Amino acid sequence: MADKQGVRWRVLVVGATGTLGRAVAAELGARHEIISAGRTSGDLRLDLSDAASICDALAQVGKLDAVVSAAGHVEFAPLADFQPAGIGESRHTLGLTSKLLGQINLALAARDQLRDGGSITLTTGITFEHPIAGGSSASMVNGALEGFVRSAAIELPRGLRINAVSPNVLVEASPAIRAIFPGFEPVPAARAALAFTRSVEGRQTGQVYRVF
Ligand SMILES: NC(=O)c1ccc[n+]([C@@H]2O[C@H](COP(=O)([O-])OP(=O)(O)OC[C@H]3O[C@@H](n4cnc5c(N)ncnc54)[C@H](OP(=O)(O)O)[C@@H]3O)[C@@H](O)[C@H]2O)c1
């Protein structure tokens, strides 16, 4: 891992067929072997909301140099729609099991599968720092992920690193998604993908790369 000159790393990209993930896979795929993963797409089937499926997929894939997540679902809905409820009983908790716990479980499974010095890169989003109407659940999930990344970085063994990328809404996002970010300047997915390269090929850990 110390010398990447001419060496194609094995990089798992969860969500490689998505709006963000396609750009990430293309950017990293220029220099590395990409193993794509998703619930219904990719080289490997893995559901972030199912811890066992994450562990099974990582056990199958063999040694990796980097694990990247460009996946995870969050619900955008008015706060008024949310009622006190346990996990799984209300829409505002869906992001907890998918985007938050799913990516954390992926990071924990990756810890045991990565080569020494390998990296983990998760995806958060701009709503943590720049709230939007209907974005409270997304803000909660993104903030929690960023806290996890900063803290896990100081405990990971074997020189492993962990970072997050927090993109603005993407140029390629659907009109429906862009409409809930009024006045935000969308960024191209290819620009957001560069932040994943900073995480995978750089040396920093515990960072949140903001692509605003
Ligand atoms: N789009 C934006 O403007 C934007 C901006 C900032 C942050 N983000 C964040 O970026 C991430 C990806 O967003 P996106 O817009 O690219 O999503 P997307 O276009 O809907 O693509 C999602 C990708 O993830 C996979 N996926 C979905 N659920 C999964 C699960 N439970 N387990 C494993 N894989 C799963 C999908 O493949 P399968 O269907 O085969 O599972 C697909 O490859 C999300 O966390 C989102 O919050 C997006």
Residue 32 lies in a domain: yes
Q: Please, which residues bridge with residue 208 across strands?
A: 164
At residue 5 the predicted structure's pLDDT band, cuts being 50, 70 and 90, is low
Chain mean position to CA 115: 20
pLDDT of the residue at 88: 84
- Per-residue pLDDT of 36-95, as tens digits, reads 999 999 999 999 999 999 999 999 999 999 999 999 999 999 999 999 999 988 888 999
Pocket test of ligand 1: the residue of 14, 20, 142, 149 to mutate, having most ligand atoms within 8 Å of its CB, is: 20
Domain span including residue 143 = 10-211
Residue 3 lies in a domain: no
Residue 159 lies in a domain: yes
What's the CA-to-centroid distance between 73 and ligand 1, angstroms?
A: 7
- Per-residue pLDDT of 117-140, as tens digits, reads 999 999 999 999 999 999 999 999
Burial class (CB in 10 A: 0-12, 13-18, 19+), 153: middle
CATH number at residue 109: 3.40.50.720
| Atom nearest to 20 CA in ligand 1 | 16
Q: Count structural domains, the chain.
A: 1
Residue 150 lies in a domain: yes
**Angle, CA 54 vertex, CA 66 and CA 29 arms, to 5°:** 30
Tally Cβ neighbours within 10 Å of residue 83. 9
Residue 2 lies in a domain: no
